[in-house]
Amino acid sequence: MSPSVKVVQPAGILDGIKGHELRRNINDVVANGADIVLIDFQDVKFMDSSGLGALVSAMKTVKTSGGKLCLCSVKDQVRMIFELTKMDRVFESFADRAEFDQKVLASK
């Protein structure tokens, strides 16, 4: 049986307000039975520490339910935040959705 994948695509600036919205979204997705949550950062231009905190919280929610959280299409500014905070070692990230499909879905 193939895993249930849900893509969440925030946009703009991932700050406290958008982070709260993202956490709510992830909670709903997990409650509806998603096995894998892919957060597509294609339209995110900037992320602050509140946004990063929301991501960590979202990851805990997904892992607690036995799921997997992945990121893709992370722009340079956001990638820099991940690298500075060493969170690039915590989150599984892919260049784009095609790479995610190839490496995660094809192996299932």
C-alpha distance across the termini of the chain, in Å? 9
Q: What is the pLDDT of residue 39?
A: 97
Amino acid at 42: Q
Q: In terms of residue numbers, what domain contains 28?
A: 5-105
pLDDT 10s digits, 47-79: 999 999 999 999 999 999 999 999 999 999 999
pTM for the model:
0.93
Beta bridge partners of 39: 8, 71
CATH code assigned at 44: 3.30.750.24
Q: Which residues contact 17 (CB under 8 A, 6 or more apart)?
A: none
How many domains is the chain partitioned into structurally?
1
Average pLDDT, the chain: 94
Q: What percent of the chain is predicted at pLDDT more than 90?
A: 92
The pLDDT of residue 42 is above 90: yes
Which of 79, 27, 90 has its CA nearest to residue 56?
90
Q: What is the pLDDT of residue 108?
A: 57
